[in-house]
Chains A and B, each alone.
Chain A
Amino acid sequence: MDFVTEKNMDHDLEVRIGSLVLRNPVLTASGTFGYAREFEQFVNLHRLGGVVVKGISLEPRPGNPPPRIVETSCGMLNAIGLENVGVERFIAEKMPYLNNLDVPVFVNILGDSVDEYQRLAARLAGIPGVSALEVNISCPNVKKGGAAFGSDPDMAAAVTRAVKQESDVPVIVKLSPNVTDVTVIARAVEAAGADGLSLINTLIGMAVDLRTRRPKLANVIGGLSGPAIKPVALRMVYQVARAVSVPVIGIGGIASAEDALEFILAGATAVQVGTANFVNPRASEEIVEGMAAYVHAQHLGSIRELIGALQISEGGS
Chain B
Amino acid sequence: MNQIQEKVQLIRSERLTADIFRLTLASQAIAASAAPGQFVMVRTGTAHDPLLRRPFSIYQTSSDGTFQIVFKVIGRGTTLLAHCREGEELSVLGPLGRGYRLEQKGQNILVGGGMGIAPMLFLAKRLLKKTALQEPPQVLLGARNKEELQPMLVDFQALGVRVLTATDDGSLGHHGLVTDRLRKLHPAPESMVYCCGPKPMMAAVAMICRERSLACQVSVETAMACGMGACLGCTIPLQDGSYGHACSDGPVFDAERILWTL
Interface residues of A (CB under 8 A from B): 31-34, 38-39, 41-42, 54, 62-71, 73-76, 78, 80, 83, 226-228, 255, 275, 277-282
Contact = CB atoms under 8 A, between A and B. Distances in A.
A155 B3 CA distance: 44
Contacts of B223: 66-71
A39 B222 CA distance: 22
A129 B189 CA distance: 52
16 contacts: A32-B231, A64-B235, A67-B222, A67-B223, A69-B223, A69-B225, A70-B223, A73-B49, A74-B51, A76-B225, A78-B225, A226-B51, A275-B225, A278-B53, A278-B230, A281-B226
Interface centre among B3, B235, B242 (most CB of A within 10 A): B235
A279 B51 contact: yes
B49 A76 contact: no
A156 B127 CA distance: 59
Given A69-B231, A279-B51, 8 more contacts: A62-B243, A64-B235, A65-B235, A75-B51, A226-B48, A278-B225, A281-B93, A282-B5
Contacts of B235: 63-68
A76 B228 contact: no
A38 B53 contact: no
Contacts of B215: none
B128 interface: no
A38 B231 CA distance: 11
B80 interface: no
A62 B242 contact: yes
Contacts of A74: 48-49, 51
A275 B49 CA distance: 13
Contacts of A39: 228, 230
A76 B226 CA distance: 12
Q: Identify which of A33, A76, A279, A282 gathers the most chain B CB atoms within 10 Å of its CB.
A: A279
B5 A281 contact: yes
Interface in B78-116: 91, 93
B214 interface: no
Which residue, of B2, B4, B223, B233, has the highest number of chain A Cβ atoms within 10 A? B233
Contacts of A62: 242-243
B237 interface: yes
Contact of B2 (A41, A228, A279): A41
Contacts of A34: 229-230
B230 A66 contact: no
B4 A41 contact: yes
Contacts of A282: 5
A33 B50 contact: no
B16 interface: no
Contact of B3 (A41, A68, A227): A41
The 7 A-B residue pairs with the shortest CB-CB distance, nearest first, are A69-B233, A278-B226, A66-B235, A278-B225, A227-B48, A34-B230, A74-B48
A292 B159 CA distance: 54
Contacts of A33: 230
Contacts of B234: 66, 68-69
B222 A83 contact: no
B231 A42 contact: no
B233 A78 contact: yes
B48 to A, nearest CB: 4
Contacts of B232: 31, 54, 63, 68, 80, 83
B40 to A, nearest CB: 13
A204 B37 CA distance: 36
Contacts of B50: 71
Contacts of A32: 230-231
